[in-house]
Structure 1
């Protein structure tokens, strides 16, 4: 397999997963705006370190369960239920979120570094997200669970996350101006994404039973 394929898929999945306005990327942008690029750099570095280990751990876990088709099938069935429920919730039940103002108190580089790590640790989404992504890619023979592919995939994730953080810092003003619009439509965006994931998972489940 081309060594660039895992890098590409890692990069794309990271961009998709991190680009919606969230606590980490918005905080990085505000730290840059109020405290300067140095503090923002240390904040992002702390976040990226945790993202690296979260992704690496998720892929290793996916590798372990990938050799157990029964566990993979069970996880897909659970994933279909969870993502289907989330799609229904965000599309028809959830109320529209409102943007809350956050205040940034100037702190040292060390505190910003550990703040970046802390916010990333509290974000559990990447672990099941990358488990699902790598298992799905593997089922289509687009990803191999070997050392070079895993390291390249994780490197792609870190590069993708870095690009998203850079975009938020570089274009924060325009992003902030559009934040209200994004938040008003966030339920639709999340519901659509989770709905698509649920349909992909259902397709894999059906294909499994037909084989």
Structure 2
């Protein structure tokens, strides 16, 4: 049961996390449009080759952080501001979105697997992304990393990234004439609102976990 749960949790968060119109998906769309499905598969494999290491090592690091309650409190509070920062970045970067064809031609001169590896290395945002989610899953006991179970979780995340990117790239290719419309609304509106909502939810959890109990104890001591 734990194996299935680890795979399902890893798959779900990585699949959904792969859907936003980030630069990895934009490059993947160009690869698919110019070189076809086989090249796209190799590109995505290059992306997840790096992401597998990031997901695994942030999972191990997260497990160590769980043991440090004071540090955990600081990280969870920081997570609220981090989510707000991500929302702001998506909103700001929406004005920098490039429209038009073949603006990534220089990348297509490389082996597509290498393109995926290189761009995934530049995707520094995946580090706090995986660290935050791994901490959340470990704190909530949604996953177990006992012995080999952690590999099922990481494997699930990689399968989720693969099919998530494949789905969104294929979908965007089919409606390529509407990409500008989607970009105008998804990046500056939908994604920032989502992260603001997540920040509010995280703030509520932090308050309930660290501050509401303290207030209750102080009231009892006063009585």
- On the 8 A contact 2:46/2:117 being kept in 1, the answer is yes
Moved more, 94-103 or 132-141: 94-103
Distance in 2, Cα, partners of 1:68 & 1:19: 33
- SS state at 2:167 partner: helix
* CA shift digits 1:116-135 (9 cap, x unpaired): 10000100122211211121
The number of residues matched between the two structures is 207
- SS state at 1:142 partner: coil
- On the 8 A contact 1:90/1:187 being kept in 2, the answer is no
How does 1:32-43 map onto structure 2 within 5 Å?
A: 32-43=32-43
| Pairwise CA distance, 1:152 | 1.4
Unaligned ranges ≥5, structure 1: none
| Pairwise CA distance, 1:169 | 4.5
- On the 8 A contact 1:12/1:160 being kept in 2, the answer is yes
Query: What's the C-alpha RMSD, in Å, of the aligned pairs?
Result: 2.4
Distance in 1, Cα, partners of 2:57 & 2:16: 19
Q: Which residue of 2 aligns with 1:204?
A: 205
| Pairwise CA distance, 1:95 | 7.4
Moved more, 136-145 or 117-126: 136-145
- SS state at 1:127 partner: helix
| Pairwise CA distance, 1:90 | 6.3
* CA shift digits 1:61-107 (9 cap, x unpaired): 111111111111111111112223444x369x747534333232553
Moved more, 96-105 or 44-53: 96-105
TM-score by length of 1: 0.86
How does 1:137-156 map onto structure 2 within 5 Å?
A: 137-156=137-156
Q: Which residue of 1 aligns with 2:219?
A: none
| Pairwise CA distance, 1:18 | 1.3
TM-score by length of 2: 0.81
Q: Which residue of 2 aligns with 1:7?
A: 7
1:170 equivalent in alignment to 2:170: yes
Distance 1:52 1:22, change over 3 A: same
- On the 8 A contact 2:48/2:158 being kept in 1, the answer is yes
Moved more, 191-200 or 9-18: 191-200
- After superposing on structure 2, the runs of 4+ consecutive aligned residues of structure 1 that deviate more than 6 Å are none
- SS state at 1:99 partner: coil
Distance in 1, Cα, partners of 2:176 & 2:158: 24
Q: Which residue of 2 aligns with 1:103?
A: 104
How does 1:1-211 map onto structure 2 within 5 Å?
A: 2-87=2-87, 89=88, 94=92, 96-97=94-95, 98-101=97-100, 102-104=103-105, 106-107=108-109, 111-185=111-185, 186-209=187-210, 210=213
| Pairwise CA distance, 1:191 | 1.6
Moved more, 55-64 or 161-170: 161-170
- On the 8 A contact 1:21/1:179 being kept in 2, the answer is no
Structure with max Cα Rg:
2
* CA shift digits 1:125-164 (9 cap, x unpaired): 2221121112112222212232333211111111111112
